[in-house]
Amino acid sequence: MIDVLVWNKYSRIVMQLAKQLKVSPVKALHLFYNSNIYALLLNKEYPLITMSDAYITDEIIIELQQQQT
């Protein structure tokens, strides 16, 4: 049950990324899976998974912006 909830959360985040960055969902999925934030989401000791979808999406966007500078 928990896995389904987590995967649903991931899909909502990916769709928010696609919308905010104006990219395809496939591109957003690639950005999501290659982000440091995704690695933190996998870490059960780090409570990032408990944060809102919008917060996590914003953190990924901030990470992407920092990579560009």
Predicted TM-score (pTM) of the model is 0.91
Tokens 């690695």: give the residue.
39
Question: What pLDDT does 30 receive?
Answer: 98
CB burial of 43-62 (b: ≥16 within 10 Å; e: otherwise) equals eeeeeebeeebeebbbbbbe
Question: What pLDDT does 36 receive?
Answer: 96
pLDDT in tens, 23-50: 999 999 999 999 999 999 998 888 899 9
What is the mean predicted confidence (pLDDT) over 10-16? 98
Question: What pLDDT does 2 receive?
Answer: 73
Dihedrals φ, ψ of 6, to 5°? -65, -45
